[in-house]
Amino acid sequence: MTEPLDPAAVLADFIERVAHFDPVPEAAPVAVLGVRTALGEATFAVGDHVVRAMCRALASYRDPADRGTCIQCGSRRLDENLHCPECGRLHGILGEVIARHARRVAEAETAPADATTDDAAATDGAAADATFATDGAATVGAAFASIEAGSADAVATADAVGDQRP
Ligand SMILES: [Zn+2]
């Protein structure tokens, strides 16, 4: 449910909050802004300070649905799980771990196929398979361990800061 907004009232409120800090309040207005909606219309004569503040506010706005760009296909429609519906790529730390593991598994699957002409090489391929599988599991474990370690550090730092208080 979208909450009702009155753009003219929001703009008036913004101008009032920002104009209060204008270092040169007596300067002449540099722009006239007009808003016309179903609720009515309003015009505002605003100074340089307010125009700059408004431009910065608009430039720094980020849509709540904007979760970045897919590094694989460039789509900007990542869902709340950082999953790209266009190409299926999963982003974030878990997505990176899964992608890395999938690459290792794919490499392990292609390696023995190249070596089927030689029995010894085929055996090597099987050994490499086991190594890749172990590596993948170790990578997942290490990634989670580093996340936990990171949290522990943050807690330790917070404690240290707390101890320094008088
Ligand atoms: Zn994608």
Q: Give me the residues near ligand 1 (ion), CB cutoff below 5 Å.
A: 70, 72-73, 75, 84, 86-87, 89
99-136, pLDDT tens digit by residue? 889 889 999 988 765 544 444 444 444 444 433 444 44
Tell me, rounded to whole angstroms, the distance of Cα 152 from its chain centroid. 23
Assess whether 56 and 96 both reside in one domain: no
Assess whether 54 and 109 both reside in one domain: no
Distance 23 CA to ligand 1 centre (A): 47
121 assigned to some structural domain: yes
Assess whether 108 and 157 both reside in one domain: yes
> Which residue segment(s) compose the domain that 131 sits in?
92-164
127 assigned to some structural domain: yes
Assess whether 97 and 151 both reside in one domain: yes
Structural domain count of the chain: 2
77 assigned to some structural domain: no
**pTM, whole model, 2 decimals?**
0.52
Backbone CA torsion sign across 116, 118, 124, 126: positive
52-70, pLDDT tens digit by residue? 999 999 999 999 999 999 9
75 assigned to some structural domain: no
Distance 77 CA to ligand 1 centre (A): 8
Cβ 72 vs Cβ 95: under 8 Å: no
Give the 3-state secondary structure of residue 163: helix
Assess whether 97 and 42 both reside in one domain: no
Q: Where is average pLDDT lowest: 12-26, 65-79, 133-147?
A: 133-147
Assess whether 51 and 97 both reside in one domain: no
Assess whether 103 and 157 both reside in one domain: yes
